[in-house]
Amino acid sequence: MVEEWRVYGKSADFKAIGEKYKIDQVVARVIRNRDIVTPQQYEEYINGDLSSLHSPWLLKDMDRAAQLVKSAIDNNETIRIVGDYDIDGINSIYILYSGLKRLGADVDYVVPHRVTDGYGINERLIDEAYDEGRQVIITCDNGIAAYSQIEHAKALGMTVVVTDHHGVPFEEKAGEKTEILPPADAVVDPARADCTYPWKKICGAVVGMKLVQALYELYKRPENEIYDFLEFAAIATVGDVVDLQGENRTIVRLGLKKIKNSDNRGLNALIDLNKLDRARITSYHVGFVIGPCLNASGRLESAMLAIRMLLATDKGEAEHLAGELAALNEERKELTRQGVEKAFDMIENSSLKDDKVLVVYLPGCHESIVGIIAGKIREHYNKPVIVFADGEGCLKGSGRSIEAYNMFEKLSQCKALLAKFGGHPMAAGMSIEPDKLDELRRKLNEYCGLTEEDLILKVWIDVPMPLEYISEKVIDDLSVLEPFGKGNEKPVFADTGLQIKNLSHMGKERQFTKVIFSKQAQFVDGIGNPFVSEVTMEAVMFSINEVLENAYAAGNKVNVLYYPSVNEFNGNRKLQIVLSSVKVCRE
């Protein structure tokens, strides 16, 4: 995959910003690169607290949704929550169920089974709720695309409240889009065109939390009680890979702090099982350790397992369920490895490799892991990818996209071929009849609108920062930027013309690289005289990099992209850099 390195050139008074917030100017530059411009935005980014979160009443239909649910509680009507089987759906259900229980609601919940039900609410689940005497349905993290299903529920006389965050289906005629909202009694979804909520990119669990917050205000509960659910909203926000900007960044930053002292037995059991230091849990641990364990239940068994763990009040039960989730995640990892290997082989040995939109069918693959496989293929080729596996009477697919390709809109243009679909610009899920797959591949490629330039991975360098500038103070200041994730990526720094003094391999399978770099750097002494001195720096790369290996063998200098850190071992602290990319220096 071809990489093109670019340097941000955004301007501001970095000296003044650094002085105001007591941060290095390098950190001020990185914040500006995240499109933070106004004093208010800088304040929210650096010091955002609970008071900076938006009112739930700003969401379209929230007033109606809250009044409907309050009426149901007051009149002892029975409520069923219908969620989703991923990390966002799991936490959405936990927040809504726990929040409504505190208000005395007669409420229960169900999760569609990934294989037998597929994504979202369906007629079987509606009929089941009706037959069991449930009068009100609340969807969370789904429902916006379930027009016919909700029409069916309304025909049965049920009250339906949709809470979702996914894109609204639409029809396009003469170049104009018309949204198709489901016929529910209330539809709370910030993605609605007529919703003026200040931050539209919240996840499903946050939408659910906002509904509970609105209800708590109606019932005059303590103002801060809603923040009992903040860590679960944070986990969902990171796990659903929504932008860590604006309100989302504040939710995750404060939610990560809450995780350190969480009293949730299930969450604590999962943290302990994975041997995480709860005092140092970051968005990385949520995204790559905690999140995959929660998701594994919905992928290979039932998401009810993860919800039961979060709701567990007995320590032994919580630990047992956490162990089951961890075991399922290990099984998922192996299935994913096999699927990725098979997909790469299929692409490289067929005409698929020439497509700009990769549509891959993997017979025998477990349908629950096609999204993970699609993500890994996307990373390798920097192309939009949809991976399909065999489902019940159809093919089930999951897609991952690139910035230049709005997958939800492109699938909307092909909706006649699809049995069902939904998603975002960067990710989507769908089902299709097998005999229509080739036509979908043809249409997606014919109308993709992608150029060769779009398929070149653009790597943005935040600051060209020479090794000699790195210090523990700079590294400490960089912590202001956390949590990292989509939309608030870990900064990328660069230096050029580095000589490789030594290169070795480490790790159980010698799969990592350790390097000693050196360079001649210019300094100024105490009386202002310039002088040149050698600077050395230890570096690690969590892979074997062919460019680095060849440069060392040939004695070539290299340019590197990196992030600085402190390596602590046996009480000793040493500056080091973690490499993300390397190119041979063309002097």
Using one digit for the tens of pLDDT, what is the confidence trace for 476-489?
A: 999 999 999 999 99
pLDDT surpassing 90 at residue 385: yes
d(CA 342, CA 337): 9
Question: Comparing C-alpha atoms, which of 409, 410, 402, 396 is closest to residue 377?
Answer: 402
Is the per-residue pLDDT at 1 higher than 80? no
* Separation of alpha carbons 437 and 416, rounded Å: 12
Length of the chain as a residue count: 587
Q: What is the mean pLDDT of residues 362-380?
A: 95
Task: Note whether 207 and 128 are same-domain residues.
Answer: yes
Q: Are 493 and 563 in contact (CB under 8 A)?
A: yes
Taking only the tens place, the pLDDT of each residue in 226-267 is: 999 999 999 999 999 899 999 999 999 999 999 999 999 999
Q: Are strands 427-432 and 395-400 parallel, antiparallel or unpaired?
A: antiparallel
Mapped onto helix, strand or coil, the DSSP state of residue 299 is: helix
Q: How confident is the model at residue 571 (pLDDT cuts 50, 70, 90)?
A: confident
CB-based contacts of 418-423 (< 8 A; 24+ apart in sequence): 419/394, 420/118, 420/119, 420/145, 421/145, 422/119, 422/120, 422/142, 422/144, 422/145, 422/166, 422/167, 422/169, 423/166, 423/167, 423/399
Considering the domain architecture, whether residues 79 and 170 belong to the same structural domain is answered as yes
**Is the distance from CB of 267 to CB of 289 less than 8 angstroms?**
no
**pTM: predicted TM-score of the whole model, two decimal places:** 0.90
- pLDDT of residue 212 exceeding 80, the answer is yes
**CA angle centred on 204, ends 201 and 208, rounded to 5°:** 115
CB atoms within 10 A of CB 388: 27
Task: Please give the average per-residue pLDDT across 156-161, as a whole number.
Answer: 98
Confidence of residue 174 (pLDDT cuts 50, 70, 90): confident
Looking at residue 175, what is its pLDDT?
A: 81
Cα gap 213→396, rounded to integer Å:
36
Which of 418-422, 458-462, 480-484 is predicted least confidently? 418-422
152 falls within a domain: yes
- Single residue among 197, 227, 257 that ends a domain in this structure: 227
Domain count for the chain: 3
| Neighbouring residues of 323: CB distance < 8 A, sequence distance ≥ 6 | 273
Percent of the chain, pLDDT > 70? 100
**22 assigned to some structural domain:** no
**Mapping DSSP to helix (H, G, I), strand (E, B) and coil, where does residue 317 land?**
helix
* CA–CA gap between residue 232 and residue 206 (Å, rounded): 9
Instruction: Provide the pLDDT for residue 12.
Output: 95
Distance spanning both ends of the chain, measured CA to CA: 23
Give the pLDDT score at 407: 96
One domain, residues 72 and 190 = yes
Q: Is residue 491 part of a domain?
A: yes
Beta-ladder partners of 387: 360, 398
Q: What's the pLDDT tens digit per position in 504-513? A: 999 988 999 9
Question: Taking 80 as the threshold, does the pLDDT of residue 118 lie above it?
Answer: no
- Single out the residue in 192, 227, 262 at which a domain terminates: 227
pLDDT in tens, 490-503: 999 999 999 999 99
Residue the block writes with tokens 């969401």: 59
Could you tell me if residue 265 is inside a domain? no
Q: What is the pLDDT of residue 369?
A: 94
| Tokens, residue 349 | 């040995």
Residue 374, pLDDT > 90, answer yes
Is residue 568's pLDDT more than 90? no
**222: domain CATH number?**
3.90.1640.30
Domain CATH for 357: 3.10.310.30
Q: What is each CA distance from 177 to 166, 169, 172, 409, in whole angstroms?
A: 16, 10, 4, 11
User: Per DSSP, what are the bridge partners of residue 155?
Assistant: none
Residue 205 lies in a domain: yes
So what's the pLDDT on residue 422?
83
> What integer pLDDT is reported at residue 55 of this predicted model?
97
CATH of the domain at 525: 2.40.50.140
Residue type, 354: D
The angle at the Cα of 571, spanning 570 to 576, to the nearest 5 degrees, equals 90
Does pLDDT of 586 surpass 90? Answer: no
Helix (H) or strand (E) holding 399: strand 395-400
One domain, residues 62 and 185: yes
Q: Is 59 exposed, middle or buried (0-12, 13-18, 19+ CB in 10 A)?
A: buried
H or E element that contains 463: strand 463-464
Asked whether residue 282 is assigned to any structural domain, the reply reads no
Q: Please tell me the predicted confidence (pLDDT) of residue 360.
A: 98
Residue with tokens 């409240």: 161
Q: Could you write out the DSSP letters of every residue in 119-167?
A: SS--HHHHHHHHHTT--EEEEES--TT-HHHHHHHHHTT-EEEEE--SP
- Mean pLDDT, residues 275-282: 94
Q: Residues 487, 418: one domain? A: no
Same domain, yes or no: 448 and 463: no
Looking at the structure, tell me whether residues 444 and 531 fall in a common domain: no
Mean of pLDDT values over 5-12: 96
How far is Cα 162 from Cα 182, in angstroms, rounded to an integer?
8
**Cβ-contact 108, 125 below 8 angstroms:** no
Q: Give the confidence band of 569 by pLDDT, cuts at 50, 70, 90.
A: confident
Give the mean pLDDT of 392-419. 94
Domain that holds residue 562: 3-8+458-584
**DSSP letter string over 543-559?**
S--HHHHHHHHHT--EE
The answer to whether residue 33 sits within a structural domain is: no
Residues 468, 448 share a domain: no
Q: What is the pLDDT of residues 297-322, one digit of tens each?
A: 999 999 999 999 999 999 999 999 99
Residue 130 pLDDT level (bands cut at 50, 70, 90)? very high
Is the pLDDT at 151 greater than 90? The verdict is yes
Share of residues in the chain with pLDDT > 90 (%): 90
Quick one: 450 and 549 in the same domain?
no
DSSP 349: T
Same domain, 76 and 220: yes
Cβ atoms of 491 and 462 within 8 Å: the answer is yes
| Closest alpha carbon to 452 in 375, 386, 383, 360 | 383
**Alpha carbon of residue 153 to chain centroid:** 32
3-state secondary structure of 562: strand
Instruction: Please report the DSSP string for 197-236 in residue order.
Output: -S-TT--HHHHHHHHHHHHHHHTT--TTGGGGGHHHHHHH
Residues 6+ apart with CB under 8 A from 75: none
Closest of 417, 285, 445, 244 to residue 352, by C-alpha: 445
**What is the identity of the amino acid at 4?**
E
Q: Is 364 helix (H, G, I), strand (E, B) or coil?
A: coil
When the pLDDT of each residue in the chain is averaged and rounded to a whole number, the result is: 95
Residues 533-567 have pLDDT tens digits of 999 999 999 999 999 999 999 999 999 999 999 99
CA–CA dist 555, 535 (Å, integer): 18
Last residue of a domain, one of 402, 423, 455: 455
Cα of 433 vs its chain's centroid, Å: 29
On whether both 428 and 473 belong to a single domain, the answer is no
Radius of gyration of the chain (CA): 25
Q: Measuring CA to CA, which residue among 255, 265, 258, 135 is closest to residue 205?
A: 255
Record the tokens describing residue 405, joined without a space: 């390709």
Same domain assignment for residues 451 and 463: no
Give the whole-angstrom CA distance, residue 130 versus residue 272.
Answer: 41
Nearest to 450 by CA among 375, 527, 543, 354: 354
Whether residue 183 lies inside any domain: the answer is yes
